[in-house]
Structure formats: C-alpha cells, structure tokens
Amino acid sequence: MAKIDLDRRAEIGREKRARTRAQILEAGTMLLAERPPEALTVDAIVEAAGVAKGTFYYHFQGIEELAAAVGERLGESFDDLLTAARLELPDPIARLSFAFTQFLDRAISDPVWARLVVQSSHAPTEFARSIRAHLKADLTEAIDQGRLTVRDVEMAADIVLGIWLQVVRSSLERRPAPDLAGQALRAVLRALGA
Amino acid sequence: MAKIDLDRRAEIGREKRARTRAQILEAGTMLLAERPPEALTVDAIVEAAGVAKGTFYYHFQGIEELAAAVGERLGESFDDLLTAARLELPDPIARLSFAFTQFLDRAISDPVWARLVVQSSHAPTEFARSIRAHLKADLTEAIDQGRLTVRDVEMAADIVLGIWLQVVRSSLERRPAPDLAGQALRAVLRALGA
DNA sequence: AGTCAATTCGACTATACAGTCAATATGAAA
DNA sequence: TTTCATATTGACTGTATAGTCGAATTGACT
C-alpha cells in the first residue's frame, strides 16, 4: 500500500514545487535584468517573489544556482529563435542574417529580455559561449566559401556581436529608429565584407 | 603672525592628503577594473590601499565618490589621447580613425585600463557620454559631407563603439591577433560605408 | 625639543545580509 | 475527518560591511 502513495505524494510535491520555483525564477530574472549577480541579495529576491527566505533555500543552493537557472532559460530562448533558421536555411550568411534579425527584433520588443542579455554578456556565461560558437560556425563556413573580406573568425564574431550588443543597448536608452534591425544588419554585412 | 602659518599648514596638508588620496584612487582603479562598483566594498579598498578605514572616509564621502573620481581620471586619459588628433587632423574620418586606433592600441598594451573602460561602459558614466559626444560630432561632420553610407548618427556611433568594445573585450580573453587594430578599423570604415 | 593643525588610525556601533531550522500550513488520499 | 509527505514560513544566529569618532601620529615651523 505504500508504493503508490509515495509516488503520488512526490508528484504532488513536484507540481507545487514547480510553481513556487517558477515564481522565484521570474523574480530573479527581473532583478538580474537590472543588476549584476554580485549586487543581487537573497532578501531582494524573496521580497520580489513574495516568498519567505527559507523557501528560496529550499529551491536553490544560493544566488549562483539561481543565476545559472536564469542563464539556462535564456539560452533556451535563443535556441528557440535559432531552430527555424538552422533547419531551413542552408546558406551560412542567410542563416546568420536571419538569426541576427530575429534576436534584434526580440530585443526591441522585449526590453526585459534585452537587459538580461546585455547583463549576461558582461560575465562570460555558458550561454554566451554557446551563442558565439554557433556564430563562429556560420562565419567559418562563409569564410571557407571565400565570401567574406574578413578572414579572422574571431574578428568576424567580434564585429557581429559588438554591433548587435551596442545596438541593443542603444535601443534600451533611445527610442529605436524605424528599420533599426535592417540598418544594423546591412552594417554588419558591409563590415564583414559579404 | 597667524596668517602665514595657517596657509602654510594648509599647503602641507594638501600635499600629504594628495599622496594618500592617490593611493586610494590607485587601489580603487585596480578593483573597479575587475568588478562593478556595486560589488565593491570599502574594506576591500582600504586593504588594497594599505590605509585605515577612517582614512578612506576622510578623503571620500563613499564608494560613489571614489568611482566618480576614477571615472574622471579615465576621462582625462581619453582626452590626452584625443588632443593630438583634434588639433592636427582637419578631416573627420581621419580624426575618427586616428582616435579609434589610439584607443585600441592603448587597450591592448594596458589591460588594466582596458578592463576599466569595459567595466565603465556597462553603467553610463559621464565620461562615456563625453566619448560618444565627441564621436558623434565627427560622424555628423562626415555624414554632412556625404561620405558615409550610414545616415543615422546614433547607428553610426553604435557601430564604432560596438566593434571597439567587443574587440577590446576579445583582446582581454584571447591573445590579440597581429594588426588587430588595423583590421578592426577597416571593418568599422566598411560598416560605416566610408 | 616643543607646538599644533592636519592627517591617519582602528576600535566601535549599527545595519544588512547569508544561511539554518523548528514550527506551521497544505492538500490529496484514506 | 484524519493522516502525513511535502512545501512554506519567519525568527534566529553569525558574519560582513557601512559609517563614526576620539586618540595617536606626523612633520614643518619655531
């Protein structure tokens, strides 16, 4: 009689647990969008999430673990936007252009997401590494096809990421100009010599 | 008999004061190069500077004031590098190119300076505003002369600053490629459509 | 060698924050 | 209604940091 009871109990637990965990994750996301993790306190998180301090430690080991979880979700959001491009576009430059525009549109329409990405770009996180790796794969392919003036992959990646990040930062401070994404993309392609 | 004494005393004071203040400023500069101001503690500063806590508060109101002082010195270092260009080069694109290269060479040869600049670029400081203003002045002039494909000054500034910052970040993580500055400059000029 | 204004020191108080834990609440199942 | 594994609570302890202040030191000048 014990077996079924225990499994069911655990399942109920997981559901309730998941809801509260999501609240904390959401609060953490908002706060990490406006300050670096070093400046984030557990008290601030639990206040924003509307839970008790003990609850935070029931779900996370500490702020680092929360930051890692937020980073993972951020990485998934990038993957979501990338999947379409990777499957449908065989041309590396078209793929890169599509992804660049997708990410930029998202940043413009979702400032919290944009702030979070900008903050995350400061400390080199796992997801930042992954993005740069994806980008370098496309750029290497394009360079091997002799379609770029730039020959150094690292320099090419810096150009794309640098312009993207700075345009995103600008879009958070000023009202984004119309066709911002298009203008930025054309500048990137010119810089790469595509 | 009092007048001269008091003035002389004050002068002696200013000299001693200046030495200790410089120590604290130096320590603060090192620490602000590796962490954001929100994550900086007075205890860490006084330990690095080798002075007592009270001494810090004798010279600065708090960490914000120290950060402002560091920012001001950083601004001066930029002005120093800019002065030559502003006086000798009448052409805005040549001026911009010269400054870009100067700043990049400095960043590559002085990693602490580079880290400090990168950190400062996160929060919009007074000196960041000033740099962008200088840059926009040159870009506006070039655009008015019809020498750039990019028409939007903000976009043009984002391109220059974005590539510069990202290349500097890269130079701190990887070993800088030979002719990094030249490559980066050519990419910027292509992006602007010069 | 004595004087004294300016500077420096570090112990001290107060507060903020991290992390723990015994008590309480929850809610599906019996 | 009662049971009980799980989840939640918030008071509590310990530590780190902010900021203060009276005492000690410094060093040019007499």
Which residue ranges does chain A devote to CATH 1.10.10.60? Answer: 1-60
- Give residue B5's pLDDT band: very low, low, confident or very high (50, 70, 90): very low
Q: Which of A82-96, B105-119, B145-159 has the lowest mean pLDDT?
A: A82-96
Contacts of A192 in chain B (CB under 8 A): 187
- Paired tokens of A36: 């670096």
- A12-20: long-range contacts, CB 8 A cutoff, minimum separation 24: A17/A59, A20/A51, A20/A55, A20/A59
A50 CA, C25 C1': separation in Å?
A: 16
Low-confidence ranges of chain A (pLDDT < 50): 1-6, 8-9, 12-13
Q: How many other CB atoms are found less than 10 A from the CB of residue B191?
A: 30
What is A70-194's CATH number, 3.65.10.10, 3.30.565.10, 3.30.450.20, 1.10.357.10?
1.10.357.10
The per-residue pLDDT for B85 is 75
Q: Report CB contact under 8 Å: A183, B150.
A: yes
The per-residue pLDDT for A15 is 63
Q: Does B1 score more than 60 pLDDT?
A: no
- Could you tell me what percent of chain B has a pLDDT over 90? 84
Start-to-end CA span in chain B (Å): 69
Amino acid identity of residue A44, one-letter, is A
The per-residue pLDDT for B143 is 98
- Paired tokens of B134: 């200088």
B170 CA, D17 C1': separation in Å?
A: 34
Q: What is the spatial distance between Cα A23 and Cα A41, in angstroms, rounded to a whole number?
A: 16
Which CATH number applies to A1-60? 1.10.10.60
Residues with CB under 7 A from strand C: A 4-5, 8, 12, 16, 40-44, 53-54, 57, 62-63; B 5-6, 9-10, 12-14, 16-17, 19-20, 50-55, 57-59
Q: Does B140 score more than 50 pLDDT?
A: yes
Q: What is the spatial distance between Cα B118 and Cα A95, in angstroms, rounded to a whole number?
A: 30
Q: How many other CB atoms are found less than 10 A from the CB of residue B116?
A: 22
Q: Report CB contact under 8 Å: B167, A173.
A: no
Query: How many helices (H) does chain B have, and how many strands (E)?
Result: 9, 0
CA distance B58 to chain A (A): 26
CA distance A188 to chain B (A): 6
B17 CA, C9 C1': separation in Å?
A: 15
Work out the angle between the directed axes of helices B111-122 and B63-88 (0-180°, nearest 10). 110
Which residue ranges does chain A devote to CATH 1.10.357.10? Answer: 70-194
By C-alpha distance, the chain A residue nearest B151 is A183
Amino acid identity of residue A35, one-letter, is R
Q: How many other CB atoms are found less than 10 A from the CB of residue B42?
A: 14
The per-residue pLDDT for A84 is 76
- Paired tokens of B40: 């900086």
Total number of residues shown for chain B: 194
By C-alpha distance, the chain A residue nearest B154 is A170
Q: What is the spatial distance between Cα B54 and Cα B47, in angstroms, rounded to a whole number?
A: 12
The per-residue pLDDT for A88 is 86
Q: Does B10 score more than 60 pLDDT?
A: no
Among B187, B125, B192, B129, which Cα is nearest to B155's? B192
The per-residue pLDDT for A26 is 98
Average pLDDT for residues B129-147, to the nearest whole number? 97
The per-residue pLDDT for B16 is 63
CB B154 within 8 A of CB A170: yes
- Paired tokens of A54: 């003990």
By C-alpha distance, the chain A residue nearest B185 is A191
- Of B126 and B30, which is predicted with more confidence? B30
- Could you tell me what percent of chain A has a pLDDT over 90? 84
The per-residue pLDDT for B11 is 52
